[in-house]
Structure 1
Amino acid sequence: MRALVVRGGWEGHRPVEATELFLPFLKAEGYEVRISEETGVYADADEMARTDLIVQCVTMSEIRPEEVRGLRTAVAAGTGFTGWHGGIADSFRASADYLQLVGGQFATHPSKEPGACAGGPEDNFLPHTIEIVDRDHPITRGLDDFALTTEQYWVLHDDLSDVLATTTHPAPPWHPWHRPITSPAVWTRQWGEGRIVVSTPGHSLDVLEHPSVRTIIERGMTWATRTASAS
């Protein structure tokens, strides 16, 4: 099995350190791992055809049309595609073709009440629950709901995805929405012959090391892999 780790974009999500956390798992599972620090590899049709799994951690940034076309073609042909947080759900905001492929786009992470905000990133760290809604899926089987204090992603999404876990944003008086909003927190997506897995928790290394978050990401890697899709 061949895994391609593509990382870069906004450094606040520490793409190198974050992906390094999962390299021992991939290697222990028997993957031959290649790392790319840029998305040009997506336009290499031969490399994409040899790749069974893509793990992407590229927040924001830009992608050229030939690159997103190569990515979509590879996934449709059976290459698995997965990632976490902004590295997959807030990548390439200007590419409609990428957004359609992934099926969910970060919109915001609501903040604390104004009086509790100090101007740092912790202003957006809220206690919230990841609620498992599909307890039979191989990715989430045996997992219970779990609590996190970190960014809680509000996601714009469509109904092609199969949602495995959700999180609900309350409607406190300091925000302009008037009822709670439920967003997908973990979802899968079939694209041609390929499988896509997205997990929105993962802002920082400590969140990625949370046992349930790490289990979901690692299981998602093996589930999405081409050989798994073909079985």
Structure 2
Amino acid sequence: MNKKALIVWGGWDGHQPEQVADIFKGILEEENFQVEVSNSLDSYADKEKLQSLDLIVPHWTMGEIERKYVLNISEAVATGVGLAGCHGGMCDSFRNNVDWQFMTGGNWVAHPGNDGVEYTINIKHSSSPLLKDISDFKVASEQYYLHYDPAVEVLATTRFPMFHGPHSANKAVDMPVVWTKRWGHGNVFYNSLGHQANIVAMPEVSLIMRRGFLWAAAGKALAHKVDEASSFGNVRTYTGMGDSQ
């Protein structure tokens, strides 16, 4: 049986969300996924449907989302559904929703120099095989400065500063570009590259996304092997941050 994926695109048009969603759809269909594409956040309203998926691919920049939708996604991912996305479509979504940021692992705060900055993506040797045989490469695009969760496993980085600004007064830092993390039983994957469709279509970037999608979706099968009585089964462990707001 084919795995099932949901792509939800929208928000700021500058990120070409419809075009990027179409690229993602093509990648997933090549991997024999049954793909549903939506441009409505109401696609997150049906909690049971979300939990029947293998993969959720958000590509929605900025905007606002109903809190119950984020909790539905959080619960689905915690039960094993994968979550994978890129650039502002995943980590510059819903800036007022801290539950979303907690789940995804980070949030965009700046791109010094804006679009067209030339910088290097440095692949890290780590315990993950996701970026195996991919070499360091250059890109001319937005260079994302992120506030990120120290729990993520960083698979690729980029060096700041490349463009002079107030942040240049600090020492050089290596900022994560690609990371993975766990959310309950679920696998979460993020790649900060992907400002527009031409960047997503780069061979290195599309390969990274393909591998990220497959890795994230693989968590569903593994989740079924884990005792449901474990502490990861209690979704409130992961969504309680917003309960006091």
The reply to whether TM is greater than 0.5 is yes
- Please give the residue correspondences for 1:189-208 in structure 2 after superposition, counting only pairs within 5 Å: 189-208=181-200
**Can you list the C-alpha shifts for 1:74-112, whole angstroms capped at 9, x where unaligned?**
00000000111000010000001111111111010001x
1:19 alignment partner, SS class? helix
Contact 1:171–1:180 (Cα < 8 Å) also in 2 = no
Identity of aligned residues (%): 35
1:129 equivalent in structure 2: 120
- Whether the 8 Å CA contact 1:6–1:38 is kept in 2: the answer is yes
What is residue 66 of structure 1 aligned with on the other side? 68
In structure 2, the partner of 1:36 is 38
1:78 and 1:124, CA in 2 relative to 1: closer, same or farther beyond 3 A? same
Check if 1:163 corresponds to 2:163: no
Aligned residue-pair number: 220
Aligned twin of 2:4? 2
Partner of 1:216: 208
Report the TM-score when normalising by structure 1: 0.90
Equivalence for 1:177: 168
SS of equivalent residue, structure 1 residue 8 = strand
Q: Which moves more between the two structures, 169-178 or 27-36?
A: 169-178
Partner of 1:141: 132
SS at match of 2:166: coil
Gaps of 5+ in 1: 112-122
Report the alpha carbon displacement of residue 141 of structure 1 after superposing the two structures with TM. Answer: 0.7
SS at the partner of 2:75? helix
Please name the residue that 2:51 is paired with: 49
- Distance of 1:54 and 1:63 partners within structure 2: 16
SS in 1 for 2:32: coil
| Structure-1 residue corresponding to 2:243 | none
Segment of structure 1 superposing worse, 129-138 or 149-158: 129-138
Write the distance in 1 (CA, Å) between the matches of 2:109 and 2:156. 18
The answer to whether residue 97 in structure 2 is matched with residue 91 in structure 1 is no
In structure 2, distance between residues paired with 1:5 and 1:171: 33
Shift of 1:41: 2.1
Contact 1:130 1:185 in 2 (8 A): yes
2:48 and 2:73 mapped to 1: Cα distance?
Answer: 12
Query: In the aligned structure 2, how far is the partner of 1:107 from the partner of 1:174?
Result: 14
Deviation at 1:39, TM superposition (A): 1.7
For 1:143 and 1:136, the matched residues in 2 are separated by 15
Q: Which residue of the partner structure matches residue 110 of structure 2?
A: 108
What TM-score, normalized by structure 2, do the two folds share?
A: 0.85
What CA distance in whole angstroms lies between the structure 2 residues aligned with 1:163 and 1:157? Answer: 10
**Preserved contact between residue 223 and residue 229 of structure 1 (Cα < 8 Å):** no
Q: Paired residue for 2:233? A: none
Quick one: which amino acid aligns to residue 40 of structure 1?
D
Question: Which structure 1 residue ranges, 4+ long, deviate > 2 Å from structure 2?
Answer: 134-138, 171-177, 226-231
Three-state SS of the structure 2 residue aligned to 1:124 is coil
- Contact preservation (8 Å) 2:186, 2:220: no
Q: How big is the alpha-carbon RMSD for the aligned residues of Structure 1 and Structure 2?
A: 1.6
Q: Tell me, which stretches of 5 or more residues in structure 2 are unaligned?
A: 226-245
Q: Which residue of 2 aligns with 1:151?
A: 142
Q: Deviations over 1:132-168 (max 9, x none)?
A: 1136523201111110010000010121111100111
